[in-house]
Structure 1
Amino acid sequence: MNVRKRGIGKRLTELHRWNGWIVVVLAATGLLLAWEPVRGWLQGYFRNPVKQLHIVLGIMSGILLAFYLPLLPKHLKQIRRRPKQKANLIFVLALLAGWLISGIVLWQIRSFPPAWANGALLVHDLFTWIGGPYLVYHSIARLKWMRRPERRAIRVEEETEEAGSGGGRSPYGEPVPLIHRRQFLKWTAGAAIAAVALPSFVRWLASSGGGGMGLPGVEGMAGSPGADANRMLPPPTPLPDSANVIGGGAQGHFRMYTVTRLPTFDSDTWSFRIFGLVDRPAEWNWGQFLALARTVQVSDFHCVTGWSVYGNTWEGVPLAAVLEAAGVKPSAKYVKFYSGDGTYTDALTLEQARMDDILLALMHDGKPIHRDYGGPVRLIVPKMYAYKSVKWLSAIELIDSEHIGYWEERGYDTNAWVKG
């Protein structure tokens, strides 16, 4: 029987060790994908390999969890008289299961409705903010140097804790301090982790609650911008439906991602043009672009990373009207879009570009689009994920062959249709 118990214990130890290292690397890759200071650096060709590594590690963690489940009843039996260990086990299993299920939804985002992905991202983030600091604390508390006192001293400490002593004398007649060395170190580590993690968690909690204008950037954006760096005068005057947000009004929260240095624009030098395989190339300055006929629509906005914002009221110039006015030549097959940052491009087929809900948007919920969020003009393609909605839109070119856009070069699917 003892040999069998030792065998089970050894397997549990191995599973714990392997899963511990996997969770460490999962946390590191997850932070690289989400942490704003390094996200921009990663957005080049490194982001997709890091994302794929994160997915593979998540699958490996799920496999280890599957190997562990048959051992769970025996493990619970072993620790039935250790309530702290049992509570820790249940909490960690809940974390792993939550991460795994929400991660699968985000991994297979195209197979689920946007509302599922939105919920999965919220769960994944929440479990990370709660579970990450806890696992760090759990790891530190179990380091060998935290348990270095003599074996006898440790035994005194453990037996005193079990007896519920708050000082006085141990079962061996020795004085026991109110706070043991191990307790002091654990409390100090916990306070330090809380001090680092809590402010960021509060900011995440506040930002995830929505509110404020936050148009997505290359994939999406977050937070409330300061003063608009663009100097676009006069600002666009909203149409009545846009000003009154009839039938719309953004519900949800936009997260802010950016991959290039934010450009600035001035109405005195800003221009927009359409060229390439068209009969009537054209270029507009800011005043002329404001004079183009605009329309208002209400549509949802979906990011391929999982979040969505519903009921946005967009106002802008229909792309189909611009193409018709320019006169598309028969040899044109694709429409290429240029960002004013000089880096970001993308493309649609001519058939896709003629959909009647694609806008060259100037306003969102009755307000000019902020520079940080793609203003003064950005593309809006409601039926596709947000990486197709090029921000800082400055030019359109009609071409006869397929163009691989910025994100497609970095592993994103050319087919960006949102399910449903």
Structure 2
Amino acid sequence: MTYQPKSDFLRVMTERGYLADCTDYEALDKALLAGPVTAYIGYDATAASLHVGHLLNVMMLRWFQKTGNRPITLMGGGTTKVGDPSFRSDERPLLDDAAIQSNIDGMQQVFARYLDYGHDGAQMLNNAEWLDGLNYLTFLRDIGRHFSVNRMLSFESVKSRLDREQSLSFLEFNYMILQAYDFLELNRRYGCQLQMGGSDQWGNIINGIDLTRRVDDKPLFGLTSPLLATSDGRKMGKSQGGAVWLNGAMLSPYEFWQFWRNTTDADVGRFLKLYTELPVDECDRLGALQGSQINDAKILLANEVTTLLHGADAAASAEATARQVFEQGGAGGDLEVALLPAGTATDGLTVIQALVQSGIVGSGKEAKRLIAEGGLRMDNEAVTDPQTTVQAAALEAGIKVSVGKKKHRMLRLEAPAN
């Protein structure tokens, strides 16, 4: 982006790495300067909790409010009954009203940690309020006529599915019309001018802007964030053990803390900027640390992110538990240490190489069998891929390796000879 924003919100989005695209940077910047602006992000209630993959956009809403604007979290009580087909290979399972409401209740617990829903603050709305009562023929006549099927088929989110000759139901095809209608209704009811979302939602956002221009002749804005992957190619929000849920009942604060503590070295600086409120310069400094020092930055990252979601006490407890488990070996005394010869892990090792060279297992065949049977964990995280890389910096700090339920070792690099 060559345009240099003047508003606090767009400046934060740019400096911290939240921004993928915007329909009109300069016009939105001017609106924000004149502010406050109302913006929303929609969340369909397809699960009982948000997961780490949602956290980027939750942080965007938090920054939006912190810079003096009004965020709306729009719960998809209506659109969840249809299901977003964007970039999916099959139709989502349909949920009944009770399941949808239960999921919304679970998600609301997370939003309350990040946003202030007090007087003149953030709002939590449900699109079932206007979608459930729609008259089908009236909706087709007044809203449906503004949509070109040819154009809808051209959106990458739909086109990619059709190109693979995978079925797209008429029910799903209506989703983008309903989401566009959400933007129109939010503008009419609450003066909402901006929709934000992941870059996979670009087509849906543009539809809402175009519909509102055609129906009410109102200019609206769209802003998207990048779809994040970790530096080793994994989708953000997924770990080897499954989704990293944000509700404490589905994933303990300790396990959440561990997810961030196990961040790959190359991601530390970027994640500090996206998922904490530390100053950008400090994030860059911490992300540039090398060797064992980067582990201190990872602990700070884990503490900061866990504090935002679960509170400072939960973060401190998680760190204390981690130190007890990994440094003192828990209540049972020190863990037995398995050493790798100094200099063997300059560029990292595969998990199989690390297990064999340290003597934790007797052969590569035994290590592969252990992984295939789900019997290996490293830092309490299941290892499912035999090609998983173990970084030298992590080995310097020490990694807890669990073989089955009873055999635990602290895997470390041997200190070089003086």
Same fold judged by TM-score > 0.5? no
- TM-score normalised by structure 1 residue count: 0.29
Look at both structures and tell me which one has the larger radius of gyration over its CA atoms: 1
- Give the alignment's TM-score, normalised by structure 2: 0.29
